[in-house]
Amino acid sequence: MNTNKISLCKKGPQKLILKGYKITLSGRFENTKNPMSKTYTTKNGFITLTSLNNNIDFISKNLYTKLGICNIKIWLFYKIN
């Protein structure tokens, strides 16, 4: 989990340490007649959206399947060293 990354900021290069992640999948996954979508979420590690000492990488992509459109969202939480 403690993976390092170097980021270039206004203050110069900064070392970032991966502290946690959150992954959310939403959409229709089962081949049933129910039109409702489902949401699955997994979290691991230290996750906070309110601290200023953290850097957050976010990505969101759509997946096109036979059952419809699914969405995947990934948050990566880094601590600034």
Domain containing 65 — which CATH number?
3.30.1140.32
Query: Could you report the per-residue pLDDT of 14-58, keeping only the tens digit for each?
Result: 888 899 999 999 998 888 777 888 999 999 998 887 777 788 899
Range of the domain at 74: 4-80
> Is the per-residue pLDDT at 4 higher than 90?
no
What would the DSSP string read from start to end of 51-68?
-TTEEEEEEEEEEEETTE
pLDDT value of position 51: 77
Query: By CB neighbour count within 10 A (0-12 exposed, 13-18 middle, 19+ buried), where does 28 fall?
Result: middle
pLDDT value of position 21: 94
- Give the count of domains, the chain: 1
pLDDT value of position 53: 77
